[in-house]
Amino acid sequence: MPVNKQLARSRYRFHYVRIADTDDGGAKQAGVDRHCGHKKRNFGRPSFFEVRYMPINPRIVLLGAGRVAGQLGPALARAGYPIVAVWSRQAASAAALAAPLGAVALSGPAPDLTQAPAADLYLLAVPDDAAPQVLAAARWPAGALVAHTSGTLPLALFEARPELRGGVFYPLQTFSPGRAIAWPAVPLLLEAADADGLATLTAVASSLSQRVLPVATAQRRQLHVAAVFASNFTNHLLGLADALLTEAHLPAGLLTPLVRETVDKALHHPPFTVQTGPAIRHDAATIAAHTAALAAHPRWQALYAQLTASIQATAAETNSAQPQV
């Protein structure tokens, strides 16, 4: 049967991939890479191409039913990827996410994925401190492609399970229940132990986002630290501001225009160059008044002092780095 008719009746598509020349100038041997699940054929072309048959819509198992999985699962389903199973330690959590996805709900202390529906990709979307335990305790199909969704865990996490093909599928976004995510704008940062794994992750990620990047572990960790400053710490500071307004019986909405303008400026200019406020002005009188106003909140008072010192030190470093005229 012609190749195209065979493919039309299967779950696979093919694409050409250039392969390295061998030392003797010959082409790779034809055969089947069973570990990766990809068939290969050699057509004897001088430039040595191989044809790989890969799943059109990889079947996916979600491990985890929390904030990340709760957003990622429906998004992948809308993109046409079959979510065949959802696992969580809590049966109710697994069932709640699995039901609308038409997936099998799995639960228990350690998933036995050899007994779950067959899948092409396993997404490990659990808290960072739980991921190593789940990875170690689970029973995995041999050669499974497993990708965690963490910003800090290394790709080397999978070295403890050499029978697996490890990867990273990290969405750079904050997730909260009830909040819709605009996936096309969410950066999806990928890493994989092998080229085939990266190709699969890239295909899946590209169906969700317009910003898909391969990023190594060290870069991803640095990015995650930056994200904590930009998102988590910022949200905490907004919470403190809200609490201060509540104490003064003022509506929190008073700060909305200020916050929006601050963020907009920081997104369109180097943030340190558009810093304003009493710290950057070295306005000692205002800083002293603010410190006194925070007397009832020693922790907030200390944070105010630390941020003031950081702003002033950063400004001094920036100014000293400027060329002298």
Round to the nearest angstrom and report the end-to-end CA distance of the chain.
77
| Secondary structure letter of residue 228 according to DSSP | I
Instruction: Give the Cα separation of 248 and 222 in Å (integer).
Output: 38
> Taking 80 as the threshold, does the pLDDT of residue 197 lie above it?
yes
Choice among 13-27, 73-87, 193-207 with the minimum mean pLDDT:
13-27
Q: Which amino acid appears at position 88 of this protein? A: S
| Cβ within 8 Å of residue 293, ≥6 positions away | none
- Is the Cβ–Cβ distance between 149 and 129 less than 8 Å? no
3-class DSSP state for residue 103?
Answer: coil
202: phi then psi, degrees, rounded to nearest 5: -65, -40
Q: Considering the chain, what is the average pLDDT of its residues?
A: 86
- Is the Cβ–Cβ distance between 66 and 56 less than 8 Å? no
- Is the Cβ–Cβ distance between 117 and 84 less than 8 Å? yes
- Is the Cβ–Cβ distance between 208 and 232 less than 8 Å? no
Token code pair at residue 292: 């006194």
- Is the Cβ–Cβ distance between 85 and 117 less than 8 Å? yes
Token code pair at residue 91: 């049966």
> Tens digit of pLDDT for each residue in 168-188?
999 999 999 889 999 999 999
Token code pair at residue 101: 């996805």
Choice among 20-29, 50-59, 97-106, 249-258 with the minimum mean pLDDT:
20-29
> Taking 80 as the threshold, does the pLDDT of residue 32 lie above it?
no
| Cβ within 8 Å of residue 145, ≥6 positions away | 120, 121, 122, 164, 165, 167, 197, 200, 201
- Is the Cβ–Cβ distance between 59 and 145 less than 8 Å? no
Q: Tokens 């065979």: give the residue.
A: 6
Domains present along the chain, CATH in parentheses:
3-55 (no CATH), 60-215 (3.40.50.720), 222-315 (1.10.1040.20)
Instruction: Give the Cα separation of 186 and 212 in Å (integer).
Output: 9
Instruction: Give the Cα separation of 79 and 62 in Å (integer).
Output: 15
Q: Where are the alpha helices (DSSP H) in 144-213?
A: 195-206
| Cβ within 8 Å of residue 3, ≥6 positions away | 14
> Tens digit of pLDDT for each residue in 206-232?
999 999 999 999 999 999 999 999 999
pLDDT score, position 311: 98
Burial class of residue 262, CB neighbours in 10 A (0-12, 13-18, 19+): middle
Strand partners, 54: 13
| Mean pLDDT confidence for 3-17 | 42
